[in-house]
Amino acid sequence: MSTDFKKYMDEDGMITADVSVMTKPENAPDKITNKDLMKSWFRWWWANEVPHTYDRMLAPSFLFGMMPILKKLYKDDVMRAEAYQRHLMFFNTQAVWGGGTLTGIASSLEEERAKALHEGRVEEAVDVTMINNTKVGLMGPLAGIGDAIDSGTVQYIFIAIFLPWAQSGSGLGAVAPFLFFSTVTFIYGFFFTKMGYNLGRSAAKEIMTGEKMKSIINALGVLGLFMMGIMAGQYVKVSSSLAFTINQKEFIIQEILDKILPGLLPLATVLALYLYFDKKGLKITRGMIYLTVVLVVLALVGIL
């Protein structure tokens, strides 16, 4: 028969469990394995934007990912329901860097709490408030790192690699960046999950301030800039039609520029747009409008 949870609820509808039930032999928590972590990470990764709500944001997805872990740690129905409920609190972060790391950290803290309660060390058990505060405190900073690297660097590397395929008419040029991006981020997302579990709350510090992670982030940044330079030189087409004659000798400006520095005008265009964004903020639509107006005017007067 199903448990009647109403008698365990307070006036706010929150479940309060009797932690003494954890000391029963049949409620001993199981050891969390790599298979369990993979299952939790995959469930979160797969569903992180599916049950998106305004009041809880991604909390239902996070709970969906944590359920295999919580089932192994809390054998008592009421204790497990209490754990489910606390992971339905408001939660919102980036899928890989935030979600992966916090899945591991939350699993580690829940395991530590379950073990202490089973051994009767109630005062030493991780407090539920600490678990919630850890998630809330780290979800923002980790999301900022993840958005900047995944959305701002990694995905554009794959787009740059496969863009020539798309230009040649191959459908793989549109599909391959998505497939490679999903595969790569899934792999290092699981790495973050394992690191979060092994290091606990210190995992976030390792990601944000660790020397190895700094080296990886710097390398990705350099690679991203390199790929952006390649894309600018390859796909930004700006040339000058200006020419004049001196002493019956024709001087074509574009040919002169090509001899001095090939791609100078595309580079100048990209740098001008970058400086605009740097000064005015990332107002992309307005920047593109201004750029279009400037290029049209220069074309009308015969400079471009």
Question: Are the C-beta atoms of 32 and 61 separated by less than 8 Å?
Answer: no
Provide the Cα torsion 205, 206, 211, 214; round to 10°.
-80
- Per-residue pLDDT reduced to its tens digit, 53-90: 788 889 999 999 999 999 999 988 888 888 898 898 88
pTM of structure: 0.70
- CA–CA separation, 104 and 86 (whole Å): 16
Give ∠ CA 172-175-177 in degrees, rounded to 5: 105
- CA–CA separation, 213 and 202 (whole Å): 14
Is 90 exceeded by the pLDDT of residue 150?
no
Average pLDDT over residues 241-255: 69
* Residue where the block lists tokens 């509808």: 13
Is 90 exceeded by the pLDDT of residue 39?
yes
DSSP state of 29: P
- CA–CA separation, 98 and 140 (whole Å): 8
Question: In DSSP terms, which residues pair with 57 in a beta bridge?
Answer: 53, 91
pLDDT interval class at 37 (50, 70, 90)? very high
Q: How far apart are the first and last CA of the chain?
A: 79
Closest listed residue to residue 80, CA positions, set 160, 15, 164: 15
